[in-house]
Chains A and B, each alone.
Chain A
Amino acid sequence: MNTVLLHSPALIVGLPIFAAILLMVVSRFGEKVRAVVFFAGIALASLAAISLAEQVLSLGAVRYVFGAPSPAAPLVPPDSGGIPVRILFHVDAAGALMLLVAALTSVAAALYALRSEERASGREYFYPLFLLLVGGVYGMVATGDLFNFFVFLEITSLAGAALTAYRIDHGLAAEAGLKYAVVSTLGGLSFLLGVGILLARHNLLNMAALGARIDLAGFGVPEAVAMALMIVPLAMKCGAVPMHQWTPDTYSRAPAPVSAFLLVSSQASLYGLFRIGFSLFGLSMDVSTVGLFVVILAVLSMFIGVTMAIPQHDVKRLISHHAVSQTGYMLLGAGVCLAVLGDPEKVRVFGRDALAGSLFHMMNYAVYNGLLFLAAGAVIYRTGTRNLDRMGGLGRTMPLTMACFGVGALAIAGIPPMSGFASKWVLYESVFRYSPLLSMVAMVVSLLTLASFVKVFQAMFLGPQRAAYAAVRDVPAAMWGAMAVLAVLTVLLGLFPDVVMQRLLLPAADALINQTAYTMPLGGAQ
């Protein structure tokens, strides 16, 4: 057991990738074997991730050295000239938060996929790609090495694009996949160029050591260029306006469980943005300018996302536009914290809360927006249409789906006591201290979100029954169970916000704000 715990950082990435390869081998033994290997891969990786997160939260950050005689080998080998030559996985409280999010949603999405993709062809490649997506997300969250981050970013992009286009859908899904792949490739290249500049300048790839070095050597023009080249692609990958054009296309055309997990992969990019903004550059860069830049992206995302959602009539596209809008909230909290990072008093009074609220919203969003995608997918699964104008009266025949969708809709609109309210509340309050106007924009956006979901709920579930759908039944148990898991989580996160805040979010926010805690053990690498 101790060995498993010791190697859990390697297992979270190794298990899904190993299961993906194993699936290719055993897929000829039939559907049952395939499903078991797929689900076991996801579930075991989740267990490893949860135990790793628990270990980090109770005992402090975990650093895992790859390629050393033992994972606990010295981070900087004595004969390496002060350079941490090996690849490290570095999980602190912020990483633990993301691991928990990915672990919970991946299990729900996988459970759902087992049934929803049952009738589809080509599952022998669908399952391995999904496993690669999950493994890539874990890798992005756990790694402490910039180039390694780039590799995992590309793995998630590749698997995500392939899964998006999996049901060709008269070429529409292929178009969505192409858009996702092109912007991801361009973003990846930009990120790689930034990594190359930093490597050429400092001979380091390890984020912690690099952070300490930049802090010491000063933030020159090359660092400024590298910072822009790394932050902008990550903002694009999490769907910030005006670089969000791929988001509605990709989320709406991907199969429902894939959309639900693509959200988490976008969150992993957002986590990367936080990591690079706070831990790598932190106070070395001009935080107020970059923070203001992030805040501007946030306001644009919130407002344009929600106003674009209002006239939509394709249910998944509507939810995808809301995903853009919700990402704006997370960027807002983080941007405010980044903008005041130079002033410890302001950080104490509201910056820390803003970042914690942003992380809280990230966690809630992954759960309730995933739930909304799964519930919308369930309706599409039964009715065969994604057009809201053609739905109606489904509450009579699909009450379980209606209940789950209702929970998700209340949460995204910020109605208490669902989780969305608690995180938005923290954001409103803390952002208000930075600028009341931003807080008001956030509230107006929340109102528009509510209006939009009233429409969706009414169009899908209420009104007179349609003869065409009089015979539809509720979805199979596995699909409903997956939605129920997420719905229960949404309610619980809303009912016990204080526990989550103290145990998980404030440590995570502190881990991001306190740059030296991240860089310290490698700071001697000068």
Chain B
Amino acid sequence: MKAPFVMMAMLETTHGGWSPLVWLVVFAAACGVALWIRAIGRGDSRTGGASQKPFLSGNDLADPEDARVAASNMYWGFTHALRVYYRRVMAFHSGSLADSILWFLVVLAMLLLAGRVA
């Protein structure tokens, strides 16, 4: 039985590779850098001031429980920018059983045609 770290050897693919061992080394180095950056920060920052209060788009929050972006709103910008696409793809997911059967038959017909043409 080889030692575990030897078994983390390079995963050789024909054009390259990937080794978790290398990743672990890089990760450890990155952690070191992060800790170093943290260490050179100022140690005299105040606690308990306004800088620690929850902040959400400048609104005053009475209840700290509300200090969050609801999951549905999180990617609003993304879905809004792609709203034309989303309108169509949502309409496609009609949830109707007849549509599922129809699409099955359509794909079947396409593969049949592809088989005949080729």
Direct contact of A and B (CB under 8 A): yes
Q: Contact residues of A with B, CB < 8 Å? A: 178-179, 182-183, 186-187, 190, 221, 224-225, 227-229, 231-233, 235-236, 242-243, 245-246, 248-249, 285-286, 289-290, 293, 297, 304, 307-308, 310-311, 313, 349-350, 353, 388-389, 391-392, 416-417, 421-422, 425-426, 429-430, 432-433, 451, 455-456, 458-459, 463-467, 494-499, 501
CB-based contact A426/B11 at 8 Å: yes
CB-based contact A464/B72 at 8 Å: no
A182 to B12, CA, bound (A): 44
Residues of chain B lying within 8 A (CB to CB) of residue A304: 89
CB-based contact A353/B8 at 8 Å: no
Q: Mark B58-90, 1 if CB is under 8 A from A, else 0.
A: 000000110110111011001100100110010
Extra contacts besides A231-B111, A285-B115, A497-B20 (12): CB < 8 Å: A227-B115, A228-B108, A290-B114, A297-B107, A389-B71, A391-B71, A392-B65, A433-B15, A459-B71, A464-B54, A465-B65, A496-B8
CB-based contact B15/A417 at 8 Å: no
A494 to B11, CA, bound (A): 11
CB-based contact A429/B99 at 8 Å: no
A221 to B112, CA, bound (A): 10
CB-based contact B13/A243 at 8 Å: no
Taking the closest CB of chain A, its distance from the CB of B13, in whole angstroms, is 5
CB-based contact A463/B67 at 8 Å: yes
| CB<8 Å pairs between A and B, sample of 11 | A179-B100, A182-B97, A190-B108, A225-B112, A227-B111, A242-B106, A389-B72, A433-B15, A458-B74, A497-B11, A497-B20
CB-based contact A183/B104 at 8 Å: yes
B103: interface (CB < 8 Å): yes
CB-based contact B114/A182 at 8 Å: no
Q: Mark B12-53, 1 if CB is under 8 A from A, else 0.
A: 111110101001100100000000000000000000000000
The verdict on A496 contacting B13 (CB below 8 Å), with A242-B92, A245-B103, A311-B79 known, is no
Task: Bin chain B's interface residue count.
Answer: 35 or more
A224 to B111, CA, bound (A): 9
- Name the CB-closest residue of A to B106: A242
Taking the closest CB of chain B, its distance from the CB of A315, in whole angstroms, is 9
Our pick among A231, A293, A417 for the contact of B23 (Cβ within 8 Å) is A417
* B interface, over-half SS: helix
A367 to B101, CA, bound (A): 30
Residues of chain B lying within 8 A (CB to CB) of residue A426: 11, 13
Our pick among A242, A249, A293, A497 for the contact of B114 (Cβ within 8 Å) is A293
Residues of chain B lying within 8 A (CB to CB) of residue A313: 71-72
Our pick among B7, B14, B67, B72 for the contact of A430 (Cβ within 8 Å) is B14
Residues of chain B lying within 8 A (CB to CB) of residue A229: 108
- Name the CB-closest residue of B to A233: B104
A179 to B82, CA, bound (A): 29
Residues of chain B lying within 8 A (CB to CB) of residue A495: 8, 20
The verdict on A430 contacting B89 (CB below 8 Å), with A425-B18, A464-B67, A494-B20 known, is no
CB-based contact A429/B16 at 8 Å: yes
The verdict on A311 contacting B104 (CB below 8 Å), with A289-B118, A417-B23, A429-B13 known, is no
CB-based contact A455/B71 at 8 Å: yes
The verdict on A455 contacting B74 (CB below 8 Å), with A182-B97, A304-B89, A353-B13 known, is yes
A178 to B98, CA, bound (A): 12
Shortest Cβ-Cβ A-B pairs, 7 listed:
A388-B71, A459-B71, A224-B115, A228-B111, A286-B118, A497-B11, A463-B68
A61 to B115, CA, bound (A): 32
A313 to B117, CA, bound (A): 44
CB-based contact B23/A416 at 8 Å: yes
CB-based contact A430/B13 at 8 Å: yes
Most A CB within 10 A of own CB, among B82, B86, B115: B115
Residues of chain A lying within 8 A (CB to CB) of residue B74: 455, 458-459
CB-based contact B12/A498 at 8 Å: yes
A231 to B68, CA, bound (A): 47
A498 to B17, CA, bound (A): 10
Taking the closest CB of chain B, its distance from the CB of A94, in whole angstroms, is 19
CB-based contact B7/A186 at 8 Å: no
